[in-house]
Amino acid sequence: MPPDEITVRSEITWNGITFPVTSLRSDTTDDIGELTRRKGRLYGYNKEHLRKITIESGVQDIILSLSHYKALEEIVIENPSESIYAHFSIWDCPKLKDIYVPSNVDSVPQLRDCPNASVIYAPDHPKYKIIDGDIYSRNEKTLYDVPSTTKKYVVKDGVERIAFGALAGNSNIKKIIIPDSVRKIERKAFYNMTNLKKVKFGNSIRKIYGGSFKRCNNLKVLVLPKNIRQVTDGFGGKRFCKLKKLYINSPKLNKANFTGIPKTCTIYVKNASVKKMIQKQSNFKGKIIIQ
């Protein structure tokens, strides 16, 4: 019977020759939004029985993606002797306990539907800190990850940047409120938030990535604030976008990529200039109404 514990060694010996192991890559996607789509039956011994994963000191580059590991309790990064990078995307591991991140490990573990687990950083970690369960930069100006189970999520005032994939795959949140302090929202920030219904933007956002809303299929109405000047990255097509109404309160757009919005959606704009920009830059087949 295979073991219920696995250790990733920092070196292996084969045919009498010893090789260093410096990198770990799991055999599935490292995107939490994709992990959350893989619902279904368990398969394989490890998914049902693997209890502990230990990564030895010396492994410097780690990407580990795990979903539906029903028995998994521990992921241990042995105290590294030098700085390393580690990315964890972990979904639906109900027995998983807290993940401890040493001060010389650059890591923002993404935990979704892991009710007994949270991320704990070393007190002297130079880059990250935890506030109410969420991961922030040390100066609290960047929001890196949100495992929150609240239905209404209010971004903390003072945050200036919402990082790549910060809320991706969070199926609990239905409404997001973003304060005026937020100036930048990176790609895939809200990707695959299956129950998201409303986003209230602050007034400092000037650029939106349409791809941030891919797979947010409960998001039927979206209101873009008056200071938006660029919409880029497309919305992903009818399979990924279910918008019915899109309100653009900006009087001017410099970039207007609305490709992927279904033709059944109606876009409401403030003037003919914005309408013309959308028609020029996007292959949008639905109605555009000036109001």
DSSP string, 165-221: TSSTT--S--EEE--TT--EE-TTTTTT-TT--EEE--TT--EEEGGGGTT-TT--E
Which tokens is 128 given? 């990250």
Q: What is the pLDDT of residue 1?
A: 61
pLDDT tens sequence across 54-73: 999 889 899 998 888 999 99
> Mean of the per-residue pLDDT values for the chain?
90
**Choice among 23-37, 151-165, 198-212 with the minimum mean pLDDT:** 23-37
* Predicted confidence (pLDDT) at residue 141 exceeds the cutoff of 90: yes
Q: Residue 236: left (phi > 0), alpha (psi -120 to 50), or beta?
A: left
Residue 283 has a pLDDT of 80
Q: What is the CATH T-level fold of the domain 127-205, as seen in this structure?
A: 3.80.10
Confidence (pLDDT) at 37: 44
Of 109, 118, 115, 66, nearest in space to 95 by CA = 115
* pLDDT recorded at residue 265: 95
What phi and psi, each to the nearest 5 degrees, are found at residue 39?
-80, 150
Mean pLDDT calculated for residue range 162-187: 96
Overall pTM > 0.75: yes
For range 276-284, the mean pLDDT: 89
Per-residue pLDDT band at 132 (split at 50, 70, 90): very high
Q: Residue 166 to residues 1, 134, 169, 250: CA-CA distances in angstroms?
A: 39, 10, 9, 26
> 32: Cβ–Cβ under 8 A, 6 or more apart, which residues?
89, 91, 110, 112, 165, 168, 169, 192
- pLDDT tens digits, residue range 30-41? 455 454 444 444
pLDDT tens track for 45-55:
778 889 999 99
Q: Looking at the predicted structure, is the pLDDT value of residue 210 above 80?
A: yes
> Cα dihedral sign for 130, 134, 135, 138?
negative
Percent of the chain with pLDDT over 70: 93
Average of per-residue pLDDT across 107-119: 95
